[in-house]
Amino acid sequence: MPKDIFSKIIKDYNNELEIILEQKAFSSDVKNLLLSMLYKIENAYEDYKKVKVNVCSKKQFVKEILETIEKRCEEIEIIKMTSKEGQELYEKNINCIVDKEKGKIQTFQNEKSILEAIMKMRQEEIEVSVSKYELMEEPIIQTLLIGNKENSLELITNFNGWSWDITKLEFGKQIYNKLYQMLIILIGNKGIENWINNRKEENEIEEMPSNVILSSKYNESFGITKEEIQGEKIDHIEKIINKFIENYGEELNKYFFKNFIKVAILNTANYNKEYKQKVEEKIQKLKEELKNMSNNKIFIENLSLQKKEITNQIKEIDTILNDELKLRKEYEKRNAKLPNKEKIFSTSHLKLMLEKQRNKKLEQIKEINKKMEPQEYVKIKNELEEKLDFYEEINIQENTKENVLRLETKLEKSFLECFSKKIEKAKEKSEIEKLIYELRYYKKILPIVELEKEKNYIQKELIRKSMQRKNTNKIK
């Protein structure tokens, strides 16, 4: 690109930022810091995009930064490293504090810290099905949020034009970053970044109905529970897994994600004592459940007690549903405890809620009846044993880098198998060129010596395929 055109593009983006900053009551230091950050991004992005390949366009990246500053940032305060507050943040290895509700940022006076704050401000809350993913929820969320943030920051922190240096990242963040990079190498970054940065695809956009009764599905008080509302949301984790299965098959999917989740759980347990305790409690609970199942008679008796308790709850609901006076009293009792915005609209809507609760309890009884069947008993016992083996293999008590490396090595083996499949399916020159850059990047961020032989073999296969398509001379 001619130099004068490149300069014009930089100037245009700077002009956009300056127009936004004119409307903000930021200090001159803050404004200069934001302009400096944008300049660094502008200078590096084209080279970065070429060698990283799995990134959005520069236009998209800069647009989101400008939108976040304009629409979400109300106040930005620079914290001096020499101040008491600055020293406290430094000791905790924190570069910035973000209050999304107030639109407030507190940051050290450098481009990395301000960009990190803007990325945090932009990221949406990630919700996954707790009942479906259990203790996998937090590791998945942390991997996506921290990985996405570090992925955005590497442009001005770890990238020097043609290579990366991630050694400056603290160990736990390195792990989250590696996990995230594996995902975007194997299935692409578009879907994952759309989710985290609130970029909705056209077919996912849903308008809120203007009619009050129709919009009741968004309000728990109109008969829909929070769990049901969550159930209606798109399960993006399932979308990621389905995409993975489409590209690599069911067997590799199970192999890769089993190892992926183990590393994520161990890393989160190392980071978070409360989460570690939850995992320990889960392991203990599984052991107790298996112990209870060792005696089939006691197992059936416990199920019978659960069934009896649920049956009594159904009877209580029926009593209210069949008596208008009791229904009215229940309506008043519940509304007395609820804030105005959550109050139940009418007794009709309470009736709807109770009927749904009743149906759910009937389903629970069906599940208990099924568990009482001999073949189901064996199936449940096997599933509990598999879950216990899964958590015990993680070995969260071993809070060491060696233990993380042990699981990381297993994960990388599964990753390499998937990457080999990707090479095998590649046909076009552009696909092969992209794979060469991906492999180059991957070897920089995942330098596990134990798997050097496997990586060299994959590299040779990729070179061989590239030579067949006569495009190796393009890669420098």
SS3 471: coil
Which sequence spans correspond to the domains of the chain? 1-122, 414-474
Mean pLDDT, residues 382-387 taken together:
91
Using pLDDT thresholds of 50, 70 and 90, give the confidence band for residue 49.
confident
- Banded model confidence at residue 309, pLDDT cuts 50, 70, 90: very high
Say if strands 75-79 and 96-99 run parallel, antiparallel, or are unpaired: unpaired
Per-residue pLDDT, 376:
82
What's phi and psi for 55, nearest 5 deg?
-140, 160
- Give Dmax (Cα) for the chain: 84
Q: Which of 126, 127, 168, 162 is nearest to 50 (CA)?
A: 162
Q: Examine the pLDDT at 277 and tell me if it is beyond 90.
A: yes
- Report the SS3 class of residue 189: coil
Task: Please give the model's pTM, rounded to 2 decimal places.
Answer: 0.75
Residue 1 reports pLDDT greater than 80: no
Q: Are strands 104-108 and 75-79 parallel, antiparallel or unpaired?
A: parallel
Q: What is the pLDDT of residue 350?
A: 85
Query: Which residues neighbour 77 within 8 Å (Cβ) at sequence distance 6 or greater?
Result: 30, 104, 105, 106, 107
Report whether pLDDT(133) > 80: no
What percent of the chain is predicted at pLDDT more than 90? 28
Q: Per-residue pLDDT averaged across 328-353, rounded?
A: 83
**What's the number of CA atoms in the CB half-sphere (13 Å) around residue 350?**
22
**How confident is the model at residue 115, as a pLDDT?**
94
Answer positive or negative: Cα dihedral of 423, 428, 431, 437. positive
Inter-residue contact 351 to 327 (CB < 8 Å): yes
Read off the DSSP letter of residue 400. Answer: S
The count of residues in the chain is 476
User: What pLDDT is attached to residue 414?
Assistant: 92
Residue 255: its H or E element = helix 250-271
Local confidence band at 2 (pLDDT 50, 70, 90 cut-offs): very low
The tens digit of pLDDT for each residue in 362-374 reads: 999 998 898 888 8
Dihedral of the CA atoms 181, 186, 190, 191 (nearest 10)?
-100
CB 14 within 8 A of CB 35: yes
Residue 470: predicted pLDDT: 62
Mean pLDDT of 106-122: 93
Label residue 344 by pLDDT band (50, 70, 90). confident
Given its phi and psi angles, is residue 295 left (phi above 0), alpha (psi -120 to 50 degrees) or beta? beta
> How confident is residue 209, by pLDDT bands cut at 50, 70 and 90?
very low
Which pLDDT score, from 0 to 100, does residue 375 have? Answer: 81
- C-beta of residue 289 within 8 angstroms of C-beta of residue 391: no
Contact 50, 100 (CB under 8 A): no
Secondary structure class of 209 (helix, strand, coil): coil
What pLDDT sits at residue 128? 61
Residue linked to tokens 């070897």: 443
Which pLDDT tens digit goes with each residue over 283-297?
Answer: 999 998 888 888 778
pLDDT at 415: 92
Instruction: Identify residue 341 by its one-letter amino acid code.
Output: K
Integer Cα distance of 173 and 152 in angstroms: 13
Q: Is the pLDDT of residue 406 over 90?
A: no
List residues bridging with 76 in a β-sheet: 105
Q: Please tell me the least confidently modeled range out of 113-117, 229-233, 383-387, 457-461.
A: 229-233
DSSP 72-95: T-SEEEEEPTTSHHHHHHHHTT--
CB 374 within 8 A of CB 222: no
Report pLDDT for 447: 60
Predicted pLDDT at 214 = 35
Specify the pLDDT at position 198. 58
pLDDT at site 348 = 86
Q: Are 390 and 262 in contact (CB under 8 A)?
A: yes
Determine whether 356 is exposed, middle or buried from the number of CB atoms within 10 Å of its CB (0-12, 13-18, 19+): middle
Where is average pLDDT lowest: 14-23, 145-154, 200-209, 354-363? 200-209
Question: Does the pLDDT value for residue 7 go beyond 60?
Answer: no
Asked whether the predicted pLDDT for residue 91 surpasses 80, the reply is yes
CA distance 451 to 459: 12
The residue whose two tokens read 């290895």 is 93
Whether pLDDT at 32 is above 90: yes
Token output for 471: 């495009």
d(CA 219, CA 217): 5
- What average pLDDT does this structure show over 25-30? 94
Beta carbons within 10 angstroms of residue 264's beta carbon: 26
The continuous run of DSSP H or E covering 286 comes out as helix 273-293
Measured between alpha carbons, how far is 182 from 177 in angstroms, rounded to an integer? 9
| Inter-CA distances, 288 with 275, 284, 292, 385, 395, Å | 20, 6, 6, 11, 18
| Residue 169: φ, ψ to 5° | -70, 140
The residue among 383 and 476 whose pLDDT is bigger is 383
> What digits encode the pLDDT tens for the residues 241-256?
888 898 899 999 989 9
Q: Which residue has the higher pLDDT, 197 or 274?
A: 274
- Output the CA torsion 170→175→176→181 (10° steps): 120
- Comparing 358 with 158, the larger pLDDT belongs to 358
pLDDT of 25: 92
